[in-house]
Chain A
Amino acid sequence: MPSRAEISSRVENVLRGLSFAALGLLIWLAFDRGRSETVVTARSANIESALADWSRMGISPDRIAVRLDSNPTPRQRDWLAALRGAGSQVSWSGSLSPVAVSVHPVTSPRGGLTILAAASGASPVIVSDDVGPLDTANARNGGASFSAPAATGIISARSGSTVATGLQHSTKPAKPLLVIGSAGWETKFVVTALEEDGWKVDASMRVAPGVSVTQGSSSAIDTSRYSAVIALDATAASRAQDIARYVAAGGGLVIAGPAAISDAFASLRASSPGRPDAPADLTSRAGAITLQSLPILPLSALRGDAIPIERRGSLIVSAARRHVAGRVLQHGYVDTWRWRLGGGEKSADEHREWWTKLVASAAMRGTTTAEASEGKPVDDAPLARLVEALGPAASGSGPGLASRAASISLWWLFIILSLSLLTEWALRRLRGLR
């Protein structure tokens, strides 16, 4: 009957043999002789550590399958692309919502941002900045637009689990405006509202033949001097040719209904004005006048290239068009000053804001500079860039069972080798052998 020591010795020999076999197999596998491919996977939660692991492997994985439940950062995306370039076959899956964001400064002294977020379907889009959420809207016809009076840091737009980020841009201060009209309440209050909002305004207010009240020098209407020209009534018709040249060179023009009546603006206006339309009870609304209750000269014969901006029922109240390099915005409201004087508590502020927005939408935009991101990653179209880097999402559930088995065989061999060596050593120690 073999003694315990003999049994132990035999077991040790078996373990030693097993260790040599495992070692041999590992050496053989290292020579890459038709070995089965390595497939690795990761999820969004562990992708950062997985990328580091894969990059440290002696041989990069043959196939990398990433399951994404949120968009990877630009760094992670670029890393995956680099692994792809190093020979790994990289695929990704997951239902990421498409979203892209574009951030534009508003051309006005009060600043502010226009944020355009492209998203699919009717998905909710949440826009935020470094402080917190700004606003939410449901996408429609391709996206949603937001107007933010102020924002801090990086702007992000989230739809589902995808977040697009964009940088703010700073612009040079807007150039002055030129207002041309006859001396009257509308001219006075338009100039006042724009100045109160921080615009620098040159003005020409005609009082009598050869007699005008002026502000600034309006002799040359030039894109180097003005962001936009505002023509309020027929008195601007005498400068129509200069204005047309200015707009063609890139300037902005706002035409009010009474000015658009003049045929001198026929080449610029978005439409000839139609018959006036006024709410029946206008005079009884003093004290509660709103923009919607003002009389209008509707834009009834829209040019082919004009885009309707605002409607009142079936009537178009404002429209815009491009004229060569410039932009023209025409509105049909009559006597907006009544809104300022006869509106509610905040009507003066609202009148001011409305005029600034109107002008900003036609004014020449100055040169912009993207603000520094201070090291934070910015990704304005994450899904598009992911597809560009790695291709479209893969269908299927991931690597098959056999290849998964092949990819983990090295680890098993190592475990077997380690355990057999350790067990052999332990048995020898217990026998007292050295």
Chain B
Amino acid sequence: MTAIERVRRTRLTLAAGAIVVALAWGFAAALAILAALAFADVTSGTSQRDAGWHSVAAIVGGLVVATVLIWRSRRLTSVGRVALWLEEKIPGLHYSLVTAIEYDGVAANRPAIEAAVARHDIGAVTRRAVGRIVLPAIGAALTGLALLYVSPSSALGGAIFRSVTGKLPGAAAAVGNRLEGITVQVIPPAYTGERSTSLDDPASVSALIGSRIVLRGEGRAEGIIARAGATELKVEDARGGWMSGFAVPTRPTALMLRDRSYERIIVLQPRADNPPRIVLTSPERDSTLRAPRLMIRLTATATDDIGLEGAYFEYLVTTGSGEIFSARTITTPVQQFGGARRGPISGALDLASLNLKQGDVVSIRAITQDRNSLSGPGLATSDTRTFRIARAGEYDSVALEAAGPLPVDSSAMSQRMLIMMTEQLVREQKSLTRQQLVKRSTEIGDLEDRVRKRVHEILYEQEAGAAEDEHGAVEQADPHDHSDEPVPAHNRDLLEAYNALWEAVRSLQIAEPQPALPPMRVALKALDRARLANRMYLRGIPPKVIVDLARVRMTGKEKGSGNIRTPVSAADSARARFERRFSDAVELIESDPQRAVRAFTLLQVDALSSNPGFAAAVGEAIEAFRKGRDATLPLIRARRTLSGAPSATPGLPSWSGGP
């Protein structure tokens, strides 16, 4: 091998070494940049999601380093420079190599030069020299790999390394904030027929009660804690990250997520399924009919916020008089709405089909229900329309006379009392002396006689000319009387009462209370019937009784007694608590903004039920904080909603603390 060939070989070796060194150092630089950026991300708490630019930065840095090193080694392209390098490394050459290169082929003493060159092991020297620069470079590359391995980087280098070596025990890869970039899927209840919706990184979630919420985020589930109010939620690994699913709570709740030192709060706002509404549009008003013949057109409109199931009409038919009534309920077939939010129903009611009689009342209403199969169904009824069939005498002008209630009322009351007194006397009879028995019995007899006379007066007023027989009984109406005027029902009752009272008075006045009781009871029933019969004629025109207050004031025999009142609780005790918490949160804004946002978020959750306006304004303030905007206006609005607006008055008050 000639000297030139040795030099050329050395040049190749050096070039190869330089390339290897450049590549190794470039690779080491790239890995070190990746590792350094990953560490920097962790320190600054920023997301690893933008690691793409890390790789770019690393590649660029590596290329720059490699390029610089190769550029610095450009002299190796020159044979002369390589020869000089060799001369420097091997002083014993005494420039023979350079000479050989300079005078290639034409030197006179070339064989001597070749021999001088050949005496030295240029290859070994070259290899040693290359080794001295290559080994550190390779060491640097390995160091870079090791650095990347221990770094939190999930970028290119780390992934390849892990994929080549597999998972090493005890090597927990540290990650950034796993609570960023959460997606929330809201799955409404099946009965609504609505599709699920997805929200990206929301600060609050509003969902129908009965919905299911699924949270998803990046990274592994281990170490993530989720709590909705006091309930701990399960967080599990899912494809591509972690997830947690739960049912929407029935009250506003703070969903607290924690990942090591990171915390996040999402406000859960449950919405209730409102009950439906139904409006009866026809018939428009109540009516009183002379005859039960009418075709009533029925229409109603039902509405609901989610979806209607169906609606129908209900008729309540009430029959009776006095205090005896019976009722029957009839419903029309249900008209289905199939989940529509608005539904009209219509029908027709033929009153003739209900077999109504005088005095009967038909109450008509529409009823609807929604499709809420979880907490309902919600039910709604419309206003009621009433159709009444008038009684025969209602249109008689006499019956409509504005008269007070018959004193029969008071007679009935007294009669009941007299019966009780007589029953008491009968119980005590055995323990009384004859004198006592006579005294008490005649007293009751006198009272009973007064009642009898009062009933006689009423009868006399109403049946002028009616005469008493020698026993005081009023002549009974002749059952064969062919007069055109039938005896009114109430008068027949009064006659029966009058005659029974006569019998009772006779027994009482001869101190025989026991035999007096049956006719007294007959009289009571008759008086009741008479009293009730009269009431129907006076419907709509109640009597006016004016109490003589001056006469009766404080004449009551019994005295009342003092008693203690229980205090009423404050109407809005939550407001004072919210005001305190609001002030405390405002004071944190300058010193600890993150804690301030946390405090406002929890306040918003607590206020959602009792003061939704205030909660909404606090929510706006939180949104402003998050976006770095000025939150003054939302905070002012929140405080005014909670506590009321301030007021200003020009001038200083003449009375301090005046209203």
Contact = CB atoms under 8 A, between A and B. Distances in A.
A334 B658 CA distance: 20
A146 interface: yes
B571 A352 contact: yes
Contacts of A196: 568, 570-572
A140 B648 CA distance: 12
A190 to B, nearest CB: 12
A145 interface: yes
B636 A214 contact: no
A106 interface: yes
B646 A192 contact: no
Contacts of B391: none
Interface string A179-206: 0000000000001100111101101010
Contacts of B582: 150, 152
13 contacts: A114-B657, A118-B652, A135-B646, A138-B650, A141-B651, A145-B649, A149-B645, A149-B646, A152-B582, A211-B560, A211-B562, A215-B566, A361-B657
A356 to B, nearest CB: 9
A215 B643 CA distance: 29
Given A136-B648, A150-B642, A195 B569 contact: yes
Interface string B582-617: 110011000000000000000000000000000000
A62 B655 CA distance: 49
A139 B649 CA distance: 9
A159 to B, nearest CB: 13
Contacts of A245: none
Contacts of B652: 116, 118, 141-145
B430 interface: no
A142 B651 contact: yes
Contact of B653 (A145, A150, A191): A145
Given A135-B647, A196-B568, A215-B567, A358 B636 contact: no
A307 B576 CA distance: 33
B561 interface: yes
B458 to A, nearest CB: 38
Interface stretch (A125-133, A259-267, A386-394, A407-415): A125-133
Nearest to B563: A213
A354 B659 contact: yes
Interface string B626-659: 0000001101100100111111111111111111
Given A146-B646, A354-B659, A152 B587 contact: yes
A201 B645 CA distance: 27
A352 B644 CA distance: 13
Interface in A220-244: none
A191 B657 CA distance: 21
A141 B652 CA distance: 7
B655 A361 contact: yes
A212 B150 CA distance: 84
Contacts of A140: 650-651
A307 B560 CA distance: 43
A237 to B, nearest CB: 19
Interface residues of B, number: 46
B162 to A, nearest CB: 52
Contacts of A141: 651-652
B549 interface: no
Size range of the chain A interface in the assembly? 35 or more
Given A198-B570, A211-B562, A130 B650 contact: no
A358 B565 contact: no
B562 A146 contact: no
A44 B647 CA distance: 33
Given A152-B586, A152-B587, A144 B651 contact: yes
A357 B575 CA distance: 18
Interface of B: 554, 559-573, 575-576, 579, 582-583, 586-587, 632-633, 635-636, 639, 642-659
A363 to B, nearest CB: 8
Contacts of A318: 659
B570 A197 contact: yes
Contacts of A352: 571
A53 to B, nearest CB: 30
Contacts of A144: 648-652
A320 interface: yes
Nearest to B647: A147
Contacts of A110: 575-576
B657 A360 contact: yes
A309 to B, nearest CB: 5
B573 to A, nearest CB: 7
Given A107-B657, A109-B570, A131 B564 contact: no
B651 A320 contact: no
Given A149-B644, A152-B586, A213-B562, A197 B571 contact: yes
B639 A208 contact: no
Given A114-B656, A144-B649, A150-B582, 11 more contacts: A107-B657, A111-B576, A111-B579, A137-B650, A145-B649, A152-B582, A208-B554, A211-B562, A308-B654, A361-B657, A362-B657
B657 A130 contact: no
A104 interface: yes
Contacts of B633: 132
Nearest to B565: A215
A149 B643 contact: yes
Contacts of A136: 648
A197 B575 CA distance: 11
A152 B636 CA distance: 11
Given A138-B650, A145-B651, A307-B654, A361 B587 contact: no
Interface string A360-386: 111001000000000000000000000
A143 B567 contact: no
Contacts of A200: 567
Contacts of A212: 562
A153 interface: yes
A301 interface: no
A147 B645 CA distance: 9
Contacts of A109: 570, 576
B574 to A, nearest CB: 12
A147 B568 CA distance: 27
Q: Which 3 A-B pairs rank lowest in CB-CB distance, beginning with the nearest? A: A137-B648, A149-B643, A140-B650
Contacts of B636: 131-133
